[in-house]
Structure formats: C-alpha cells, structure tokens
Amino acid sequence: MTIKSNDYVWGNQKTQFFYDLTPEHILDAIDRLGFTTTGRCLPLNSMENRVYEVEIETDSNVASEHFLIAKFYRPARWTKEQILEEHAFLFDLQAQEIPCIAPCVIAEQSLFFDTATSMHFCIFPKQGGRAPMDMTPTMLEILGRLIARVHNVGDAQTAEHRIQISPTSFGRQNLASLLAAQTIPIQYESDYQKLVETICNLSDPLFANIPVHRIHGDCHWGNVIYREDAGMFLIDFDDMLIGPAIQDIWLLIPGDDTYALQDRQIFLEAYQSMRDFDISSLRLIEPLRTLRYIHFTAWIAKRWQDPAFQQAFPQFGTDSYWGTQVQDLQIQLQKIQAL
C-alpha cells in the first residue's frame, strides 16, 4: 500500500507535549507581539491544541476587546504550511464576509513561533456566543446557506498540504498506526483489522468521482456559535480537509430518523439555493461516519501518553471499549453493504 505524505493524518514526526507551556511562557509570547498582558490567563477547553483566554491592557470600552484568544498548536501535529493553509481559508472566508473567526494579523503575519517552547501559535479576537440549542427550521436554513457559502469559497482555491479524507487516509493509515503500536488487544485485533479493511475496500468506489474541495472538516455543533445580535459563526478550522461537501453536513445532522431526515431536507434546500449539491454523495454518510469512528480511536491512541487524554478517556484500552468498537464496525459494515 502506497501512502502519500498528505495521507499521514497525524504528521510525520512523533508528537510532543505541552509540559513547557507555562502561563509565564504564554504571557511572554503575547507580550512580544506588542500587547501588554495583565497576568490573567484562563485555559479553555481543547484537547489537541492548547487555547487560552488572555487579558490585555486596552482603553477600549468594548468588553470583548480586553481579551485575546491564544492558540498554541500541538508540536509536530501540523506543518507550518498546513497551518498557514488553515489561516488562508479563514482569510478567504472573511474576505467574502462569511461569519467565521480569522486569526489576527500582526506585522503581516498570522502565525508566530515561540522559541522558548518551539511551538507555533496564533491570536484570535474574542467572540462571545453560545452553541445553538434547539434548531428551528429558520436556523437550519440559515446554516444551510452559510455552509454552502463556505464551500463556494473552499472550491475557489486548493490547499496542497492538507489531508484529503478517504478510506486510505482516515481508514487504512489509522489502522496501520494502531497495529504498529500494538494498541488493539490481541483478542480483538484480527476482527478489528478485517472489519476496517473490508469497510475501506467497499467504500473506495463510493468516493470515486465525488467532487472534493476545501471544507471545514470537523463541522459539528461544538464548532458553531450563535449570538442573538449577530447570528451564527463557524470556529475551529484547524482540522480543515480536502473532502466532499457532505462531510460538513452529516456532522451537523448526524441522525437517520424521521426528524433528522426532515432537518436535512430543510438544510439541503437552503444549501442548494446558494450552491449545487450532488445528491449521490449522501451515500457517503455511513462510510464517513465509520471513518470518523476509526479516526477517533487512532487519535486517542496517538495521544495516550498525554495525561489529559488518560483523564478524558479512562475506558480506552479496556475490553469493554474494544468490544464496543468491533460491534460498532460490524453495524457500520452492514449499513455500507446495503448501499
């Protein structure tokens, strides 16, 4: 199996941790950009990277302008080129007045390197809001048009260093990583391997001839914020991919019951008012769901030496965990075979 460099979803180097990233280092890094920090530094919820709300001195009367969001990227996870492609996508969206939160540009740069910790980081303006609660038909229509506009912009340029989601990148490569690390208990290894290989082989032709372009890649409700006075904003583009449009749709409407199908129809009708949608790509929902299962397991395994992951996923590695993974893949295989 030949795997090109962009299929290495976890980077080509051994990941590092955040032990050197102390509050002092964070504040010093922000101060060196020309800000004056007050000493207040609040960690925000983030597993893959480290994100902080940092208070700065300012004469502004706008409360949110007293804070910056500092994002330190996990070392060796992304290359500099990949991060800059994330920023370029955000700037492209911003230029088309699409509600997203792009990084701050300082001295014509959006990405900075902290020599004290050997970490890349960037700064975002603070944007208040909350995750949308119950989605009304009107909100689904707004979101459908918003995602279509994102995809129009995503389709206008490429990102040559970004990963293209496929059965190889999110399936076979993750399986290879799990097998090489001997992560899967021996009693489940054979079944898990056969299931992943069969699913990937069945999924390959489903991905053929489906248009791909820049997409958010991780477009679930946790990455949508809503404000009564400003509507919806998309955040957290660091997992942006090259992939089919449906990847950014099924994560927002993941169900397959009657209510979910009705919501999806409302969403797609609004989407299609702004952009064509290939209805045949709906058959990718179950393969993409399955690849996400595999990807999530490989992600935890790759990060298992990070104490934050051991605390967040205490069940990982147990018989119960792997038994459930095998059962879930068996169910998904049946769904894919029925397509």
pLDDT for 215-269, tens place per residue? Answer: 999 999 999 998 877 789 999 999 999 999 999 999 999 999 999 999 999 999 9
**Which tens digit of pLDDT belongs to each residue from 45-72?**
999 999 999 999 999 998 889 999 999 9
At 13 the pLDDT is 56
The fold for domain 137-337 equals Transferase(Phosphotransferase); domain 1 (1.10.510)
At 20 the pLDDT is 78
What is the CATH code for 18-125?
3.30.200.70
Residue 85 has pLDDT above 80, yes or no: yes
Please, where in the chain does CATH 1.10.510.10 lie? 137-337
Please, where in the chain does CATH 3.30.200.70 lie? 18-125
Burial of 208 (0-12, 13-18, 19+ CB in 10 A): exposed
Residue 7 has pLDDT above 60, yes or no: no
Mean model confidence pLDDT for the chain: 93
Q: Residue 91: which pLDDT band, with cuts at 50, 70 and 90? A: very high
